[in-house]
Amino acid sequence: MNTPMSWIDIGHIDDIPLRGSRVVKTRAGCLAVFRTTEAQVFAVGNTCPHKGGPLSEGIVHGTSVTCPLHNMIFDLETGQAQGMDTGQIPTYPIRIEAGRLLLDAASVSSRSAA
């Protein structure tokens, strides 16, 4: 099934510190939008599947984030836990256009943000 994309402007890339993250509230829960390099962003669920740690508060390195509560590491592109851990966080389409961050709202409302 192909849900049509509906891009919503959620802010400017410079609203997120380099190697930092900001939260986007949705009806289905909070998303975390990460900025891994000057011009690379990822949107994932904010909640760690281990014990619910807020991933947006983790340390960002490469294209991964380390959960601030117990150091599980997630790949931001696939949402997969890395190393010995297992777990998965949802990922959402996001793109940058002239510095604006566009999030695919359809995917957010169609999936639950865990």
Partner 1 sequence: MQKLVIIGAGMASGRVLEHLRDTAPDAFDITVFNAEPRGNYNRIMLSPVLSGEKTYAEIITHDDTWYADNNVTCRFGEKVIAVDRDRRVVIGEKGEVPYDKLIFGTGSAPFIIPLPGHDKKGVVAYRDLEDTNAMVAAAAKPGARAVVIGGGLLGLEAAAGLRLRGMEVTVLHIATHLMERQLDEAAGYLLRRDLEKRGINVILQASTQEITGGDAAEAVHLADGTVLPCDIVVMAVGIRPAVQLARDCGLTCGRAIEVDAQMQTSDPDVYAVGECVEFNGNLFGLVAPLYDQAKVLAKTLLGQADAFKLRELSTKLKVTGCDLFSAGDFAGGDGREDIVFRDPGRGVYKRLVIEDDQLIGAVMYGDTGDANWFFGLIKDGTDISEMRDSLIFGPAFQGGAQADPMAAVAALPPEAEICGCNGVCKGAITAAIEGGATDLGAIRATTKASASCGTCTGLVEQVLSVTLGDDFVRPAAQPVCKCTDLTHEDVRRLIKSQELKSQPAVWQELGWKTPNGCHVCRPAINYYLLADWPLEYQDDLQSRFVNERNHANIQKDGTYSVMPRMWGGITTPDELRAIADAADKFKVPTVKVTGGQRIDLLGVKKEDLTDIWYDLNQAGMVSGHAYSKGLRTVKTCVGTDHCRFGTQDSTGLGIKLEKKLWGSWTPHKVKLGVSGCPRNCAEATCKDVGIICVDSGYQVSVAGAAGMDVKETERLHDARTEEEAIEWVAAFVQLYRENGKYLDRAYKWVAKVSLDWVKETLSDDATRAALNERFEISQSVYRKDPWADHNQTRAALYQPLADLTQEAAE
Does position 25 interact with partner 1 (CB under 8 A)? The reply is yes
Residue 59 contacts ligand FES per CB under 6 A: no
Residue 96 is a binding residue for partner 1 (CB under 8 A) = no
The site partner of 112 among partner 1, ligand FES, none (C-beta below 5 to 8 Å per kind) is: none
Q: What is the DSSP letter of 105?
A: H
In sequence order, what are the residues at sequence separation of 6 or more whose Cβ sits closer than 8 angstroms to the Cβ of residue 51?
Answer: 69, 70
Q: Is 5 a binder of partner 1 (CB under 8 A)?
A: no
Residue 83's Cβ-count burial label (10 Å; 0-12, 13-18, 19+) is exposed
Instruction: Find the binder of partner 1 among 10, 50, 85, 111 (CB under 8 A).
Output: 10
CA pseudo-torsion sign 3, 105, 108, 74: positive
Is 114 among the residues that bind ligand FES (CB under 6 A)? no
**32, 72, 94, 102: which one binds ligand FES (CB under 6 A):** 72
